[in-house]
Amino acid sequence: MKNMLTEADVKQAMTDSGVTADVSNLGSEQAFSEYGLDSLDLFNLFVELEGKTGVTVPDEDLDKLKSIDDVLVYFNKS
């Protein structure tokens, strides 16, 4: 059984990937764009998460991942 990704894991990956915004106050349902993350921030986040989990996000799925909740559902699906 694989380890499930948590909200804290996503926030840590955001920090590790160089997101400069204070992610501690980012709500799990809040859209990344509302919080000021741009496409480069998101690209770096997904590269970081892929490295941690081994899950690759195809380009066509990137637009579906708009919040921490979306990321958790995507990365934790079986």
For the chain, the structural domain boundaries read 7-20+27-76
pLDDT tens per residue, range 4-59: 999 999 999 999 999 988 888 888 999 999 888 988 999 999 999 999 999 999 98
Is the model more confident about 20 or about 71? 71
3-state secondary structure of 63: coil
pTM: predicted TM-score of the whole model, two decimal places: 0.88
**How high is the pLDDT of residue 23?**
85
SS3 68: helix
Q: What is the pLDDT of residue 78?
A: 53
How far CA 55 is from CA of 13, 33, 47, 52, 68, in Å, comes to 14, 23, 10, 8, 16
Q: What CATH number was assigned to the domain covering residues 7-20+27-76?
A: 1.10.1200.10
